[in-house]
Amino acid sequence: MLALFSIIAGLCQPAIAVMAPPVDEKRKTSSAEFLVDDEFHPASGTYYYDVFLANMRVGKATINVKQNGDEYTIEVSAKTRKVIHSLYKVRYRGETEMTTDPLLPRSTTIEEQTGSKTKKYHAEFPEPNRVTSVRVEKNDGKPAKRVEQEFLSESFVLDPFSTIFLIRSLKWQVGDVEIFDVYTGKKHYELQLVCRAETVMMFKGEKRPVWEIIPQTLSLTEPRKVKLSGFVIYLSQDKSREILKITGEPSIGRVVARMRKFVED
């Protein structure tokens, strides 16, 4: 999920930051505390998404899932269409190696290209609550900027791609709230996920029951600010637990990431 939001943010712009509303729920202290569906076993293969801005297709994205026992590799890529490269060019690639019992990332690598700027992130998760990372930024032939960071969480930390897996694996009910920390490659946030409602959406001529999941990231320093406000994830309720669509309202207009197909390996 966060990977797709990273894609949307890269292909368009970040959502407007606003003051965070109060939330009474508490963070999980361990990823083992999540109520997961033991019958969820995602098939290995590739999900294809189209990204639209104000009904115009501006880019595409893929999420590839590979399984080896209890270990998974998740690869994400996205890019803008050639027809808009003269206005805005974005390429995005990411990969995470993770375990599922309990759910924990091992390492994450992200590469972003926006116009003439390139950024590369590599993060290791030596402990559930600790992240070490290296970020390298380049711009128009200038000397590369290298930044090393370390983050500690009060509970545990996931990355954007293991978060995708978590959202799909949880036993959702309307009103559920999940709170935990996430490291995006550059910053450490608190992520809140709220199951707002159940509904039905059309997908390739078929009615599919879905949960509406509302995400938002909150800064961990005062004053606390929220991003991704106004975004909605539409998660299928069948055993595939597919993210069929994501919608949002950043400052540039309505954005939609819509699943086109899944190709099993």
| pLDDT tens per residue across span 57-77 | 988 999 999 998 889 999 999
Work out how many domains the chain is built from and give that number: 1
- Given a cut of 50, whether residue 13 has pLDDT beyond it is no
The structure's pTM equals 0.88
* DSSP classification of residue 14: P
Distance CA 198, CA 234 (A): 9
pLDDT in tens, 133-152: 999 999 887 889 999 999 89
pLDDT in tens, 206-263: 999 999 999 888 888 777 777 766 789 999 999 999 999 999 876 667 889 999 999 9
The residue segments making up the domain with residue 191 are 2-264
The DSSP H or E segment spanning 146 is strand 145-152
Distance CA 82, CA 50 (A): 14
pLDDT at residue 178 in the model: 92
Distance CA 143, CA 106 (A): 30
